[in-house]
Structure 1
Amino acid sequence: MSPYIVLAALIILCLAGLWLLFKKAGCRGWEALIPVYSAYIMLKISGRPVWWLLWFFVPVINAIAAVVIYTDFVKSYGKFTIRQQAAAILLPFVFLPKWGFEKRTQYLGPSASSEFAQARHQQLKKSPAREWTEVILFALLATTLIRTFFIEAYLIPSPSMESSLLTGDYLLVSKVNYGARFPITPISFPFAHNNLPLIYTKSYWDGIQLPYYRFPGLSEIKRGDVIVFNYPMDADSPYYRPVDKRENFIKRCVAVAGDTVRVINAQLYVNGKKSPEPADGQQAYIVHTKGNPIDSLFIRSLHIDVKLKYSRTDYEMLMTREAAKQLQKHPGINNVIEYYQSVSGYNPSIFPHDGHFNWTLDNLGPIIIPKKGWTVKLDELTIPMYKRAIGIYEANKVKIAGNTIFINGKKATEYTFKQDYYWMMGDNRHNSEDSRFWGFVPEDHIVGKALFIWMSTDENESFLHQTRWARIFKGIR
């Protein structure tokens, strides 16, 4: 069964449960179906002030606030125990419909009201301070579990995926689709990935490292999936970070384990066939103008990035094919010509960083993506390609003496890989640091699959116009 069908079924069950519980509180059931507005109704039902909605716009605090609001909501129906609240958070698709249908679960009143709270304190014999402490600790624990094993918010920090994803897009990333990864570095500060805010010191202790383990997922990684993963090069100096504490990157998986990748004149080929281009992916173009400045608002409306200015009339710009067609019609433009980097000698910044390969961003390959159980013959042409995977990602000692290769002190003429690898590329092909620079992404670096955009802001706009309303709850193609 498709994971999307399973996910849709779970969402429908949750919404059906909320619909029934809303009706029990005297609200209209359909109000549960409207994002954000349903949170407003939960606040009304539980007696919290409406301004609490502002917490949703504060990073880190928004996750904790969501758990507290949701917990207050189920308390209003008599679900006071930690067990019941954990069930509501971890298995909402089971317990929300159950409580919605069962007659004994009724709306008792706003759980945040003073009368309700006093009765509750007397019943449990707990002070308000103790109960708030328990609520906050539970919210921290529940939020950590949700972020680790189920779903996590992620901000697009750079233009490497434009125009599919824009800088300032906030995504929800599913850990369930490919299977949640059990924490490799278990001792770390909550909600801080690898650095503590403000003081910028390590947020984790790497004295304990657990073996890699991934829970079963709903699906395998597929070509075309937009994936969040740990940046492989953070294994090197100066960071030497553990796998799960390496920086989070987001790219599109264009090739999976066992595939053969090649790029010819900016066109990607996988297993000898042209790979479909991302619908909103950007390409590089040389733009010849008539000398007059082009309307900057027009450029921004098409999400065009002016990369280089060659002269008063000539530019290199990054844009989608549709934007190129629109720009060509502009009265101030002479020509819009697609551009790609031709082969022009050895480029040490391009993978595999070896003089045998005169590759560029737009012309490279063929490259075979390692697959678990695949055995590769090792020689002067293959060892540059796979040395990092064998040595760094699969924890072997690789030494090359003349034409002889040693792995863990033993002469080696071949190697069998222990895990799958993937080839990642940004949709903004001429403004993306991706596998063309640093090679393969190992399976144990995979964080999760990007599902949809839940918020989007443009920092170049004024405060009142920063929100990109058209992108809210937009799916990712």
Structure 2
Amino acid sequence: MNNKNKIIRKIGNTVLNLFYYTSIVVFGFILLRVFVFGSYKIPTDSMEPAIVPGDYVLVNKLAYGARLFNLFDAVEGKQVKIKRMPGYTHIKNNDVVVFHIPHPNTWDKIEMNMSKYFIKRCIGLPGDTLRIVNGIYTLNSDTSKRLGNYQEQLALSGKPKDAFPEGVYNTLPWDTILNWNIKDFGPIYIPKKGDHIILDKANALLYKKIIEWEKGYSLPFENDSLRDNGKPLQVYTFSHNYYFMGGDKVENSQDSRYWGLLPDDLIVGKASLVWKSMSPYSNTFRWNRFMKSIE
């Protein structure tokens, strides 16, 4: 073999090795981003003052347990089976959580879109009973515990109904009999895995979408009850845990008051800190928010 062929072979081996190791690094980084950590830019003011538009939030996906699922099917929008590994902590009241938007395409059903996210504060946990009394969140009849942005709730409590923009005042289940709103809401029980719940008219309205999400098909609401294959569904046993999420800017947040309870599978991770922040108006770096902890 002459020197020219040796040089060509050496160059070829170098290129192949470079491609091989680069592919491993890129693939490893993608796996880390999907299963270990994430960075998300905040576009709206719904979590002010804790998080503001232009913040880049670092999300810890190991805290509540990494999710294992078919990534390729999920990216294509297919329904995937999710297994969550054990985390080193669990979701607590007032944690700031990143999750997939439950209704990325339509208000009629819950889906998971890998590219669409919300960030909100966890107000209610599985097994909690939540009420909003004159704008103030209350859990399990305990009025001493402060949940979410209490100052914003106080400000909201002093506003009359006609001070709210159209579409903001009324909330789920969008029913004229219950007539819930952002000042007078609930009580709503937040199901945990294994709970058996009697589906009277109110519960059928409240839990319809999450039951349909668990079953994987729609259930018509007829004669004040849900119908499953033509028969009334009178009792249901939940197979997942659910959470009630709220925005800190209480009057300006698309949260569980409007779209309902959050299934555990849609939770991505815990928002741990703001690692970078750029002003959306001047595009300047905000040093006062650099590496700022989220509380």
The bucket for the TM-score relative to the shorter chain is: 0.7 to 0.9
| Residue number in structure 2 paired with 1:130 | 16
Alignment deviations for residues 166-220 of structure 1 (CA, whole Å, 9 cap, x no partner): 11111110110111111344257xxxxxxxxxxxxxxx4346x542211111122
- Give, in whole Å, the separation in 2 of the partners of 1:405 and 1:460: 49
Match of 2:59 among 173, 184, 207: 173
| Structure 2 unpaired stretches of 5+ | 1-6
- Cα separation, partners in 2 of 1:281 and 1:251, compared to 1, 3 Å: farther
Task: Report matched runs for 1:172-321 at 5 Å.
Answer: 172-187=58-73, 204-206=75-77, 209-234=79-104, 236=106, 242-245=111-114, 247-274=116-143, 275-278=145-148, 282=152
Deviation at 1:409, TM superposition (A): 3.6
Task: Report matched runs for 1:398-477 at 5 Å.
Answer: 398-461=219-282, 463=283, 466-477=284-295
Alignment deviations for residues 431-451 of structure 1 (CA, whole Å, 9 cap, x no partner): 111001111000111111111
- Give, in whole Å, the separation in 2 of the partners of 1:404 and 1:429: 32
What residue identity is the alignment partner of 2:227?
A: F
Deviation at 1:368, TM superposition (A): 0.7
Highest RCO, 1 vs 2 (Cα 8 Å, sep ≥ 6): 2
- Cα separation, partners in 2 of 1:277 and 1:343, compared to 1, 3 Å: farther
Higher-Rg member (1/2): 1
Contact in 2 for aligned 1:393/1:442 (Cα 8 Å): no
- Give, in whole Å, the separation in 2 of the partners of 1:216 and 1:159: 32
Q: Which has the higher helix share?
A: 1
Contact in 2 for aligned 1:372/1:418 (Cα 8 Å): yes
Deviation at 1:340, TM superposition (A): 3.3
| Residue number in structure 1 paired with 2:4 | none
Give the match's secondary structure for 1:140: helix
Contact in 2 for aligned 1:173/1:448 (Cα 8 Å): yes
Match of 2:34 among 135, 148, 151: 148
- Cα separation, partners in 2 of 1:371 and 1:340, compared to 1, 3 Å: farther
Contact in 2 for aligned 1:160/1:431 (Cα 8 Å): yes
Could you state the TM-score of these two structures normalised by the residue count of structure 2?
0.85
| Residue number in structure 1 paired with 2:159 | 340
Could you state the TM-score of these two structures normalised by the residue count of structure 1?
0.54
Deviation at 1:233, TM superposition (A): 1.3
What residue identity is the alignment partner of 2:92?
A: K
Contact in 1 for aligned 2:123/2:147 (Cα 8 Å): no
- Give, in whole Å, the separation in 2 of the partners of 1:339 and 1:273: 21
Contact in 2 for aligned 1:266/1:340 (Cα 8 Å): no
Deviation at 1:395, TM superposition (A): 2.1
Give the match's secondary structure for 1:254: strand
| Residue number in structure 1 paired with 2:207 | 386
- Cα separation, partners in 2 of 1:280 and 1:355, compared to 1, 3 Å: closer
Alignment deviations for residues 135-167 of structure 1 (CA, whole Å, 9 cap, x no partner): 432232011110111111111111000001011
- Cα separation, partners in 2 of 1:280 and 1:450, compared to 1, 3 Å: farther
Q: How many residue pairs align between the two structures?
A: 284
Give the match's secondary structure for 1:173: strand
Give the match's secondary structure for 1:353: coil
Seq. identity, % = 33
Give the match's secondary structure for 2:288: helix
Deviation at 1:399, TM superposition (A): 2.5
- Cα separation, partners in 2 of 1:394 and 1:156, compared to 1, 3 Å: farther
Alignment deviations for residues 403-445 of structure 1 (CA, whole Å, 9 cap, x no partner): 4532244332111111010000001101111001111000111
Moved over 4 A (4+): 124-128, 277-285, 341-344
Give the match's secondary structure for 1:406: strand
Contact in 2 for aligned 1:162/1:282 (Cα 8 Å): no
